[in-house]
């Protein structure tokens, strides 16, 4: 399988949730504000929005609640031009995820509601309805594996993607509140990682998969040596180490005055993939993904803060450059 050739089709099928975000104005706390801005949220939907805004195509596979919030999410998918043919409403007590967060760094608070999450109701029938051969690659955020039937369905999607000959791109995206236990998460995420062609995660997530934060770097290196074509090990302000073809690449970040910490990882993924689509080197693709992350943390919201191609180009032209790492 030629992983880069698949990505260059610039047409991605994305597994995982779409939700509603409610965020405050700059500097305001949740408990004292009188106003929130509502927009689309959810890691997978954010990644899809970022891909589309950078010129690609993305189709989401998930479930939404059959209520006003679910319909809000469906409308937002239309707004961001994300294909929703594989998004299925589910009734009963299932509810869409809801995230409240602040547009401030000091004393930042995020409150996530995931009780009876609709996206966890995704079924094997849902993923088997997808024509994987029509896409260039499958993208999945780790939360899809946190509970059944979504977990079993996502592994089935991985199998179907593999059978169709398209690469699997995995964002570890470990959210402890979604999992029944740390042990289950470690086992399941490690299994998903071993099935993936590209793996992206931060140092804490790889450390978690390895059984200790001090073992994360070796875990990333081992995955690149055994099963994955590309592994990106992100270290926050210390940049990233990318493993590919028996080599490792150190890259820095683009410092900005951050307004909030949310959305960086989703924007990184979109920018990274879109840059590979356009033929950038692996090093430049990681740097451009880092630039997208910097843009998003400096603005309110997640999906609305994702840059268009001209905004990314303008940022790179105006910024003095990434931090130097050794």
Where does the pLDDT of residue 326 fall: very low under 50, low under 70, confident under 90, or very high at 90 and above? Answer: low
Residue 237 in this model has a pLDDT that exceeds 80? yes
Where does the pLDDT of residue 191 fall: very low under 50, low under 70, confident under 90, or very high at 90 and above? Answer: very high
Q: Residue 99: left if φ>0, alpha if ψ -120 to 50, beta else—which one?
A: beta
- Hey, where are the domains in the chain? 3-318
Query: What's the pLDDT at 72?
Result: 98
Write out the CATH class of domain 3-318: alpha beta
Nearest residue to 159 (alpha-carbon basis) of 117, 202, 192? 192
- Ranges of beta strands (E only) in 183-302 are 198-202, 230-234, 240-244, 247-251
Whole-number Å distance between alpha carbons of 24 and 33? 7
Residue 209 in this model has a pLDDT that exceeds 90? no
Token pair in block for residue 325 = 């790492």
Query: What's the pLDDT at 325?
Result: 77
Q: How many residues does the chain have?
A: 326
Mean pLDDT of the residues in the chain = 95
Residue 210 in this model has a pLDDT that exceeds 90? no
pLDDT per residue as tens digits for the range 244-292: 999 999 999 999 999 999 999 999 999 999 999 999 999 999 999 999 9
Query: What's the pLDDT at 144?
Result: 97
pLDDT per residue as tens digits for the range 115-124: 999 999 999 9
Place of tokens 């099963």: 227
> Which of the two residues, 178 and 139, has the higher pLDDT score?
139
Residue 189 in this model has a pLDDT that exceeds 80? yes
pTM exceeding 0.85: yes
Crossing angle of helices 216-226 and 203-210, in 10° steps, is: 80
Rounded to an integer, the average pLDDT of 44-60 is: 98
Query: What's the pLDDT at 198?
Result: 98
């Amino acid at each position: 399988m030629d992983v880069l050739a698949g990505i260059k089709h610039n047409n991605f099928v994305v597994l995982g949730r779409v939700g509603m975000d409610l965020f405050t104005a700059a500097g305001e706390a949740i408990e004292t504000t009188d106003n929130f801005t509502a927009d689309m949220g959810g890691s997978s939907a954010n990644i899809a929005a970022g891909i589309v805004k950078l010129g690609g195509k993305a189709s989401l596979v998930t479930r939404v609640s059959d209520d006003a919030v679910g319909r809000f999410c469906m409308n937002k998918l239309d707004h961001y031009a994300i294909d929703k043919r594989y998004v299925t409403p589910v009734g009963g007590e299932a509810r869409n995820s809801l995230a409240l967060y602040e547009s401030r760094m000091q004393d930042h608070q995020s409150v996530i509601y995931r009780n009876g999450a609709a996206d966890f109701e995704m079924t094997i029938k849902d993923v088997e309805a997808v024509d994987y051969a029509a896409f260039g690659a499958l993208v999945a955020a780790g939360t899809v594996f946190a509970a059944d039937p979504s977990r079993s369905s996502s592994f089935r999607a991985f199998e179907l993607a593999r059978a169709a000959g398209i690469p699997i791109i995995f964002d570890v995206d470990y959210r402890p509140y979604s999992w029944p236990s740390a042990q289950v998460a470690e086992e399941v995420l490690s299994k998903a990682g071993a099935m993936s062609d590209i793996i992206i995660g931060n140092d804490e997530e790889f450390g978690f998969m390895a059984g200790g934060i001090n073992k994360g770097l070796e875990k990333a290196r081992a995955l690149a040596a055994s099963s994955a074509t590309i592994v990106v090990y992100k270290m926050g302000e210390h940049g990233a180490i990318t493993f590919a073809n028996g080599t490792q690449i150190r890259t820095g970040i683009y410092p900005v005055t951050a307004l909030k910490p949310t959305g960086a990882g989703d924007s990184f993924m979109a920018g990274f993939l879109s840059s590979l689509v356009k033929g950038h080197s692996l090093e430049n693709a990681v740097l451009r993904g880092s630039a997208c992350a910097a843009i998003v943390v400096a603005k309110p919201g997640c999906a609305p803060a994702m840059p268009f191609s001209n905004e990314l180009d303008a940022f790179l032209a105006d910024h003095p450059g990434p931090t130097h790492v050794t």
